[in-house]
Amino acid sequence: MNDIRSLGLQFRGAPVTLMSDGVEALLRDCGADLEATLRAASDVDLSGCIVQSAVGAGMVWAERFGCTFEQGRHEGGAWSVFLPRER
């Protein structure tokens, strides 16, 4: 995993802090952008803490770790981006 905090990327109100080498390679190979990939993401389950987005023939997942659900919304935590097989 690569620390990408320096990019200052936010998704659904929380920072995106980690990205796997596999995602980095997929984005590079497809000429895709992480920010656009996350904007196109859809929920994997009802928790709202795991999302997926298609990139070329592959799939990228992002998961929000360390969050709590309070007053109808998620608080805290940070997003990590990885390939489903890396989970």
pLDDT digits (tens, 9 = 90+) for 32-84: 999 999 999 999 988 788 999 999 999 999 998 876 655 555 556 789 999 99
Task: Classify residue 74: in a domain, yes or no.
Answer: yes
- Give the integer Cα–Cα distance in Å for 29 and 17: 21
pLDDT at 42: 96
Domain assignment of residue 4, yes or no:
no
In a domain, 5, yes or no: no
**17 CB-near residues (< 8 Å, 6+ apart):** 3, 4, 5, 78, 79, 80
Residue 3 inside a domain? The answer is no
In this prediction, residue 47 carries a pLDDT of: 77
Tell whether 2 is covered by a domain.
no
Q: Report how many domains make up the chain.
A: 1
Q: Which domain holds residue 59?
A: 10-86
Q: CB–CB of 17/80 below 8 Å?
A: yes
Residue 1: inside a domain: no
